[in-house]
Structure 1
Amino acid sequence: MRLEVCVDSDEGMRAAVEGGADRIELCAALALGGLTPSAGQMARAADLPIPVHALIRARPGDFRFAAGDVEAMLADVRWARQAGLAGVVLGAALPDGRLDRAVLSRLREAAGTMSATLNRVFDLVPDREEAVETAVAMGFDRILSSGGAVLASEGTLALAATCRAAAGRIAVLPGAGISEQTVGALLECLPVEEVHSSCALPVPLDPRAAALGFGPPEPRHTSAERVRALKAAMARAQAARDARQGLR
C-alpha cells in the first residue's frame, strides 16, 4: 500500500520523506488546490530518495485553459522531464466539463515516458465512465479523485464505481482530507493500492502578513508525524484486508 503526499514547499518535501511517504506530488499554493511548482522546487525535488510527480496547472480555478496557459504548461512538463522527475499530474477540461482530449494529448506527449496522473479535473466531469475510458486510451497511469466530494470519505460510492469502471486498467488514487482516522474505512470499501494526502497541520501565519494578503490566516504544512501515522493506519488496514481475503 503506497502513500503519496502532496506538498508545496521544501520543508514539506523533507517532512514527507522523513515520515515514510512512498511518493510526493509537488505543487505550489496548495491552499488554491495546487499550482505548478517553480523550476527551483523541481530541481531540488529531483534529488529526493523517493519518486516525485509535479502538478502541472497554470492557474487556480477551473481546468479550462487558454492557449497561453497550455503553452506554459507544455513548457512546465518539459522542465519537469528535464529536471529528472518521475512523473507529472495533468488535467484539462472542455466548457461542458468533459476532458479536453486535445490539450491532454499534447501534455501527455510532452511527458514522454514519465508517469502521468489525471488530476482532480476528474471530479468535475459529467460522465465518470467516459472519463475513465479517455484516461485509459491516453495512457494515464492513475486517476486522482475524491469521488466528486469535498472529502474522499464522503465520495466512497463514486470512488467504488470508478474502480469498477477502471477494471484494473488504470489505478484509482483516492485523495482529499484522508487521515489516519478515516483511511481504514475508506480502504475497507475500495480495492485501491495507493492513497493521496497532504498529511498537513495548521501553522498560524504572522498576522501582519495575513493582513497584507500574503497568505491565508492559517496555512497548513506537511507533518512528518502525520505521514507516519497515516502509513501505520494504512498498514493496519492492509492487514485487515488480507485477513478478510484469507477467510474467503
Structure 2
Amino acid sequence: MTAVRLEVCVDTIEGAWIAAENGANRIELCAALSEGGLTPSAGFMTAASRLPIPVFAMIRPRSGDFQYSDAEKALMLRDIQTAEQAGLAGLVIGATTEQRKLDGNFLSTALEGTNLPATLHRAFDTLQDPSEGVEEAISLGFERILTSGQAQRAEQGLDVLEAVVSRAAGRISIMAGSGVTETNAARILRFSAVNELHASCSSSYEPLPATTPEVQLGFTPSQGARLTDASRVQALKMAIDQYLETAE
C-alpha cells in the first residue's frame, strides 16, 4: 500500500511546531484560518523555515472568491518571492476566471517564475468542470490538488474525489481536505483512493471572559479560538497508519 501523507494547516508558529512534532508530514502555512487561510507574513514564513518538515506557504491576498485583480496578482507574485527568500519548500495557490475555469495565464506566470513546487488549493472546488481542472493543473505544473470533492466536507464529496483520482491517474497527487478527522480518515481513504490528507487538527479552547478588554474591543472571538491540538494530530496520524496496516 502506498504511504499516505498528512498535511496540517496552521496559522500560528506554535501550531506549526505542534504539528511537526506530532506526526505531520508537511505544513500548510497560513494567516487567518478562520477566513479559509491567507498569505502569512514574511516573519512567519522565515520562522517556519526552521521546521524539520516541508512548509508550503498559502498565497492568497484576501478572503472571498478566487478571481483576482491585476493589483492582487502583482501582490501574489511578490509574496511568492518572499516565500522563496524565506527558504520555504513550496506554495499553495489558485485563481479562477468568471467562467469558473482556472486562470491559466496568471497561474502559468506564477509557477514559471519560481522553482518552488506548488499545490493547487480549493479554488479547484469552485470549477465548473473538475476533470478539465485536473488536466489544466497537470499542464501548469502543479504538484498536487487539494480538494473536498466540490462538497462542503470531503466525506460528502467521495464520488467526485474518486473521479478526480481516477482522472489524475497518478500524474498528479490528489489530497483530500475539509472536515478530515481521525474518525473519518479511513472512510475517505478507502472510498476515494487519495494518497494525501489535509486537516487543521484543531480543537476549540475556552474563550476569554466577556469582561476582558480583548473580548470587549473585538480583538478575540467571544466564542473562543481554535488552535492546533497535538492529540488531534497524533490521532489522525494513527488513524492513517491503522488504515494502511489493514489495507496491505
User: TM-score scaled by structure 2?
Assistant: 0.94
2:71 aligned to which of 60, 68, 71? 68
Contact 1:31/1:219, CA 8 A, preserved across alignment: no
1:219 alignment counterpart: 225
Q: Deviations over 1:125-182 (max 9, x none)?
A: 0000111010000000100000111111111111001001111100100000111000
- Residue in 1 that maps onto 2:156: 154
1:15 aligned residue: 18
Q: Distance in 1 between matches of 2:110 and 2:218?
A: 33
Is 1:109 equivalent to 2:115 in the alignment? no
Which SS does the other structure have where 1:50 is aligned?
A: coil
Structure 1 runs not aligned, ≥5 long: 243-248
Shift of 1:191: 1.9
1:238 partner letter: L
Secondary structure (helix, strand or coil) at the match of 2:179 reads coil
Q: Which residue in 2 is equivalent to 1:94?
A: 97
The Cα offsets for residues 99-150 of structure 1, whole Å up to 9 and x where unpaired, read as: 10111112112222x1110000000000001110100000001000001111
Q: Is the 8 A contact 2:161 2:194 kept in 1?
A: no
- In the TM superposition, what is the alpha-carbon distance from 1:218 to its structure 2 partner? 2.7
Q: Is the 8 A contact 1:7 1:198 kept in 2?
A: yes
Shift of 1:211: 4.2
Counterpart in the other structure of 2:234: 228
Distance 1:124 1:213 in 2: 32
Aligned counterparts of 2:218 and 2:167: Cα–Cα separation in 1? 43
Judging changes above 3 Å, is the alpha-carbon distance between structure 1 residues 96 and 204 closer, same or farther for their aligned structure 2 residues?
farther
Shift of 1:21: 0.7
Instruction: Give the match's secondary structure for 2:235.
Output: helix
Counterpart code for 1:197? A
**More divergent stretch after superposition (169-178 vs 200-209):** 200-209
Residues 88 and 111, structure 1, Cα contact 8 Å, conserved in 2: no
Q: 1:191 aligns with which of 190, 193, 196?
A: 193
1:178 aligns with 2:180: yes
Residue 152 of structure 1 aligns with an amino acid whose one-letter code is A
Answer whether contact 2:9 2:199 (CA < 8 A) is retained.
Answer: yes
Q: Deviations over 1:185-208 (max 9, x none)?
A: 111112222110000001234334
Q: Deviations over 1:52-73 (max 9, x none)?
A: 0000000000001111111111
- Structure 1 contact 35–58 (Cα < 8 Å) conserved: yes
Rounded to whole Å, the distance in 1 between the matches of 2:201 and 2:108 is 32
How many aligned residue pairs are there?
Answer: 241
CA distance in 2, matches of 1:192, 1:29: 27
- Name the amino acid aligned to 1:67: D
User: What is the Cα deviation at residue 33 of structure 1?
Assistant: 0.2
Verify: 1:128 aligned to 2:162, yes or no: no
Classify the secondary structure of the residue corresponding to 1:111.
coil
SS at match of 2:155: helix
Are the aligned partners of 2:159 and 2:192 in contact in 1 as well (CA < 8 Å)?
no
Q: Any unmatched runs of 5+ in structure 2? A: none
The answer to whether structure 1 residue 240 and structure 2 residue 243 are counterparts is no
Deviates more, 1:47-56 or 1:98-107: 98-107
In structure 1, what is the equivalent of residue 144 of structure 2?
142
Q: SS of the counterpart of 1:48?
A: coil
Is residue 2:60 matched to residue 1:57? yes
CA separation in 2, counterparts of 1:119 and 1:212?
Answer: 33
Q: Equivalents in 1 of 2:114, 2:58: separation in Å?
A: 12
Distance in 2 (CA, whole Å) between partners of 1:201 and 1:127 is 34
> Which residue identity is paired with 1:76?
D
**Per-residue Cα deviation, 1:65-110 (whole angstroms, up to 9, x for no partner):** 1111111110000110111111000100101211101111121122
For residue 110 of structure 1, what is the amino acid of its counterpart?
G
